[in-house]
Amino acid sequence: MISAEDLIALVRNYNPKTNADRITAAYDYGRQMHEGQFRHSGEPYFSHPVAVAAILTEQRLDDSTIITALLHDTIEDTKASYTEVTEQFGREVAELVDGVTKLTNLQLSSRETKQAENFRKLFMAMSKDMRVILVKLADRLHNMRTIKAMRPEKQEQKARETMDIFAPLAGRMGMQWMREELEDLAFRVLNPEGRQSIIRRFITLQRETGDVIHRITGDMRLELEKAEIEAEVFGRAKKPYSIWRKMQEKDQGFSRLSDIYGFRVITGSEEDCYRALGIIHQRWRAVPGRFKDYISQPKSNGYRSIHTTVSGRDGKRVEVQIRTRQMHDVAETGVAAHWSYRDGVRSQNPFAVDPAKWIASLTEQFDSEEDHDEFLEAVKLEMYSDQVFCFTPKGDVVKLPRGATPIDYGYAIHTRIGHACVGAKVDGIRVPLWTRLKNGQSVEIITAEGQMPQVSWLEIATTGKARSAIRRALRELDRGRFIKLGQELARSAFEHVGRKATDKALDAAARNLRLKHRDELLARLGSAEITAHDVVQAVYPELVRDEGEQISPRRAVIGLQPGQSFERAPCCQPLPGERIVGITSRGKGVVVHTIDCDRLSEFEDQPARWVDLHWHSGNHPAVYSVTLELTIGNDAGVLGRICTLIGEKKANINNLVFVDRKPDFYRLMLDLELRDVEQLHSLMLMLEAESDVASVERYREKSPAHVVLG
């Protein structure tokens, strides 16, 4: 653990005017608060906040951010309070520490709908002060560097969360070095064999070809000196995970992968960037389609650089990035460059993006109260995707994520253009709407009056804006039908708890679910965007809870070890009353299957994992989900009658999805909440007796041909 004096020395390297007394006071306070606490490795816990602060000095951040790093776990893990931190270090630091604490408490790797809400909270925290996420990223980086001290299942969970959320977020913020290190540290946990394989092949390649980096770097310097261009040249091998990802994307072996080395040319001016590009293209052959000019078309996080790929006589490709020193600072620290200090003053980097504007551009297209899944989808697209730049017929630039189609382009221009799209021309040639657009193409949308969005467009569109607009338009087209279906579902669900779905009750449910009015509630219920269970719970939460006051679902299974948890297997959805068996699973306790489940064949050679179980006898609450596949006649009132019959059997419809619609029949999936297998059999017999029901089957997942274990 570095001392307070050494930490202050790191800050003084870029900010000689730092307030050493404040940093020393924060260091002493943090050490006192964490006294007696230890990490999994056995080291004093305070070594972690100090390491986080040291990482932030590499980004030349201000005193308040360094102090926040030293105190970032005090409010959460010690007796320190927000008030006390405010009194000793000021309101700015206290709010930053509180913001980091709230981010730490978000379960970002939870199920999708909750994850969407947590992403919203994450971006709200960032919008207040971006330094909160900078501290959190440094916190995650140090935890990943020291992850070996954690339990294996905890390592895997943290590594997956890092790969899915924190590494892409660092990349989207322009901190590419941090993204690469986070990805590689997570890769070391998630696929150690794959990583070692890449490293072994690198060693073999170096033996065969010698020091390629030193040779090419020297050649580039020589060519630039001849042209009297002052520049620094650096070369490096790409990280193991970056190479692994390229192998997966291109479906190539290591021996066929060419651009595994990267070089950077740092010049004194923007003019020299383009001169250097000309020199490199004269000396080495440029690879077609691998040129990107992010100087003339910068990324939204402020990133500017010229990217090109060249090949030599031996056919080996290398990637070259060319930029100025100021551009390089932004490329290394991303939006953090906004707070960077140099020689004791805030660095005035003209290429550093305003964090407030960056966050605003990220969130402006999303409503604050609805469409959580669309928010998550669009945020992930914004974070994970590179971008392509296309041109309108008039020459205006349209920025889209990689993989975008003419449908996305149309909606990027205007929602009205997207809705009326009937075709597209790319570089003057008519192309299908599913065509993937490329950098530099000119795109023209062909429109027709009266055209409306098609359901198939959801399979074609990739941007959150386009998909959201298509869904809204389709929702309006189907609104009348969905409202009628929602009325039937609501009536059945309310009758299930002994109440009526009156206008007053539905108005109350709409208010509690933050929807504008009753029809909006019914339309979303009918289109399966919300469930009948959600609607009833919004008005009568006590009635929904009362259903579970019998045998608690937590102790419904007999045969578990003390403290051992269980969950029902989604493949067979076992119900009380069925013969069951348990399979132990790391991180999930025991997974309960029906004795005839196809998936059990996967564990035949692992008898030690099998657990003999059976259900408690007695009354179980109707909380166990089961999915039925129904084929019903496409006649007026059929679905309503079926919903009524299900309600009469005291079963709750939790979700309804149409799988296939034909002129004469519908095929749909019904998610029901049932008490036991007896109730299921009774319900299925009743449905089979209905003349309008062609077939009814219990849904079961089949065993796959092979299973890839993570």
- CATH number for the domain spanning 10: value is 1.10.3210.10
- What average pLDDT score do residues 406-414 get? 93
- Cβ atoms of 222 and 199 within 8 Å: the answer is no
Q: Are residues 230 and 268 in the same domain?
A: yes
Cα 39 to Cα 143: distance, rounded to the nearest angstrom:
10
Cα 96 to Cα 62: distance, rounded to the nearest angstrom:
13
Q: Please report where in the chains the tokens 């986070």 appear, as a residue.
A: 182
Which amino acid makes up residue 222? L
Cα 2 to Cα 16: distance, rounded to the nearest angstrom:
19
- Quote the tokens at residue 450: 């009266």
CB burial of residue 585 (10 Å; 0-12, 13-18, 19+): middle
- What average pLDDT score do residues 86-109 get? 81
User: 207 lies in a domain?
Assistant: yes
Q: Is residue 680 classed as helix, strand or coil in its secondary structure? A: helix
CATH code where residue 312 lies: 3.30.460.10
The DSSP annotation for 154-179 comes to HHHHHHHHIIIIIHHHHHHTT-HHHH
Q: How many residues does the chain have?
A: 710
Cα 660 to Cα 677: distance, rounded to the nearest angstrom:
27
Q: Render pLDDT for 296-325 as a digit per residue (tens, 0 to 9).
A: 888 766 788 999 988 875 667 788 999 998
Query: Into how many domains does the chain fold?
Result: 5
Asked whether residue 502 carries a pLDDT value surpassing 70, the answer given is yes
Q: Render pLDDT for 175-230 as a digit per residue (tens, 0 to 9).
A: 888 888 999 999 999 888 888 888 887 777 777 666 778 888 999 999 999 999 99
Domain boundary among 310, 342, 374: 342
Q: Render pLDDT for 339-363 as a digit per residue (tens, 0 to 9).
A: 565 555 555 555 555 555 556 555 5
Q: Is residue 321 classed as helix, strand or coil in its secondary structure? A: strand
Catalytic residue among 43, 58, 76, 519: 76
Instruction: Find the largest Cα–Cα distance for the chain.
Output: 89
User: 449 lies in a domain?
Assistant: yes
Domain boundary among 169, 190, 211: 190
Q: Are residues 534 and 567 in the same domain?
A: no
CATH code where residue 641 lies: 3.30.70.260
Q: Are residues 608 and 542 in the same domain?
A: no
Q: Residues 243, 244, 250, 253: is their CA dihedral positive or negative?
A: positive
CA dihedral 268, 270, 272, 273 (to 10 degrees): 110
User: 64 lies in a domain?
Assistant: yes
User: 363 lies in a domain?
Assistant: no
Among candidate residues 160, 147, 175, the one with its CA nearest the CA of residue 58: 175
Q: Render pLDDT for 457-472 as a digit per residue (tens, 0 to 9).
A: 888 888 878 888 888 8
Among candidate residues 657, 655, 596, the one with its CA nearest the CA of residue 626: 655
User: 349 lies in a domain?
Assistant: no
- Cβ atoms of 249 and 275 within 8 Å: the answer is no
Question: Could you tell me the CA-to-CA distances from 632 to 362, 441, 508, 624, 698 in Å, in that order?
Answer: 44, 48, 33, 24, 15
Q: Which is more confidently placed, 381 or 601? A: 601
Q: Which is more confidently placed, 77 or 274? A: 274
Cα 165 to Cα 148: distance, rounded to the nearest angstrom:
20
Cα 159 to Cα 256: distance, rounded to the nearest angstrom:
29
pTM listed for this prediction? 0.52
- What average pLDDT score do residues 420-427 get? 91
Q: Are residues 226 and 241 in the same domain?
A: yes
Domain boundary among 143, 175, 190: 190
329 annotated active-site: no
User: 494 lies in a domain?
Assistant: yes
Cross-strand pairs, 661: 666
- What average pLDDT score do residues 676-705 get? 79
Cα 186 to Cα 178: distance, rounded to the nearest angstrom:
12
pLDDT at 369: 39
Q: Are residues 491 and 609 in the same domain?
A: no
Q: Please report where in the chains the tokens 């009536």 appear, as a residue.
A: 491
CA angle 468, 652, 500 (to 5 degrees): 90
Asked whether residue 117 carries a pLDDT value surpassing 70, the answer given is no
Q: Average the pLDDT over each of 23-27, 168-172, 418-422 and give the range with the smallest value.
A: 168-172
- Cβ atoms of 351 and 23 within 8 Å: the answer is no
Q: Is residue 120 classed as helix, strand or coil in its secondary structure? A: helix
Q: Which is more confidently placed, 497 or 500? A: 500
- What average pLDDT score do residues 487-512 get? 87
Q: Are residues 487 and 578 in the same domain?
A: no
Q: Which is more confidently placed, 665 or 8? A: 8
Q: Render pLDDT for 362-398 as a digit per residue (tens, 0 to 9).
A: 555 444 435 555 555 555 545 544 567 788 888 777 8
The DSSP annotation for 529-582 comes to SS-HHHHHHHH-HHHHHHTTSSS-GGG-EESPPTT--EEE-TTT---TTS-EEE
Neighbours of 462 (CB within 10 A): 18
pLDDT at 354: 57
- Region of 248 (left: φ > 0; alpha: ψ -120 to 50; beta: rest) is alpha
- What average pLDDT score do residues 570-592 get? 88
Cα 99 to Cα 95: distance, rounded to the nearest angstrom:
6
364 annotated active-site: no
pLDDT at 25: 95
User: 379 lies in a domain?
Assistant: no
- What average pLDDT score do residues 251-265 get? 66
- What average pLDDT score do residues 121-133 get? 69
Q: Are residues 27 and 138 in the same domain?
A: yes
Residue 708: what are its φ and ψ, rounded to 5°?
-95, 120
Q: Are residues 19 and 78 in the same domain?
A: yes
Q: Are residues 536 and 675 in the same domain?
A: yes
- Cβ atoms of 64 and 75 within 8 Å: the answer is no
Contacts of 142 (CB under 8 A, 6+ apart): 48, 51, 52, 55
Which amino acid makes up residue 184? D
pLDDT at 384: 46
Cα 377 to Cα 371: distance, rounded to the nearest angstrom:
10
Q: Are residues 220 and 336 in the same domain?
A: yes
Among candidate residues 1, 129, 130, the one with its CA nearest the CA of residue 54: 1
Asked whether residue 66 carries a pLDDT value surpassing 90, the answer given is yes
CATH code where residue 401 lies: 3.10.20.30
pLDDT at 69: 93
Q: Is residue 146 classed as helix, strand or coil in its secondary structure? A: coil
Q: Are residues 389 and 334 in the same domain?
A: no
Q: Are residues 565 and 534 in the same domain?
A: no
pLDDT at 385: 47
Catalytic residue among 5, 6, 73, 77: 77
Q: What is the DSSP letter of 663?
A: S
- Quote the tokens at residue 238: 């790409």
Q: Is residue 53 classed as helix, strand or coil in its secondary structure? A: helix
- Cβ atoms of 135 and 56 within 8 Å: the answer is yes
Q: How does residue 232 score in pLDDT terms, banded at 50, 70 and 90?
A: very high
Range of the domain at 392: 385-476
User: 352 lies in a domain?
Assistant: no
- What average pLDDT score do residues 389-415 get? 85
